[in-house]
Structure 1
């Protein structure tokens, strides 16, 4: 007894006398084998893609961690430099008050029209 399942109908086939032949069986076996191989290739591609994405994710996590560490260091450096600047600000204001420039006198020179002989 053979089972024949086409897209249109499904029924049991008792042998070659009912229309089911070995060529149909061979086609079905070949189709199943091709489908099995295609499914296997598809699963392999999916696995490779997942592995690639996983590696990329790990690499990005490392880069992200390094950048966060750099941001933290730069923030600490900024705080340190700001505190140094704050401690020197009173001295700068004293220097600005004592070292004010002398006022400059602006002298304007008027232009004179001098007649030239023609």
Structure 2
């Protein structure tokens, strides 16, 4: 019967709360929460850095595009000046463009009408 009492004693000790065991479980839970929180914070900082890198790259791309567009604007303005000068010189040589109708509107300037004479004679 001594064996029966030993087995019952060991079974009984398993069901009784061990002093400090509950505190250890709480500490373990707290530590697990801290680890999870630390990992979540690292992940958040990494995402934030990646977003900043992406924004920086996009900003650099837009700056390069802006420079290219400003160069294009300069070239187009130069082209506009050139063609305006060509038009002014042509207007002084071509009476069909300079002639005004009675209502103040330019008559149509078709190549077949205005340039019906030989080009060498037209621009003399």
Q: Which moved more, 1:32-41 or 1:82-91?
A: 82-91
Q: How many residues align?
A: 83
Moved over 2 A (4+): 94-97
Write out aligned runs for 1:34-113 (5 A): 34-93=36-95
Shift of 1:90: 1.6
Unaligned stretches of 5+ in structure 2? Answer: 1-18, 100-113, 117-124
Q: Which protein has the bigger helix share?
A: 2
Q: Evaluate the alpha carbon distance shift between residue 47 and residue 65 of structure 1 in structure 2; reply closer, same or farther with a 3 A threshold.
A: same
Unaligned stretches of 5+ in structure 1? Answer: 1-14, 102-118
Structure ranking higher on relative contact order (CA contacts 8 Å, 6+ apart): 2
Aligned alpha-carbon RMSD (Å): 2.6
Q: TM-score, normalised to structure 1's length?
A: 0.62
Q: TM-score, normalised to structure 2's length?
A: 0.59
Q: Which protein has the bigger strand share?
A: 1
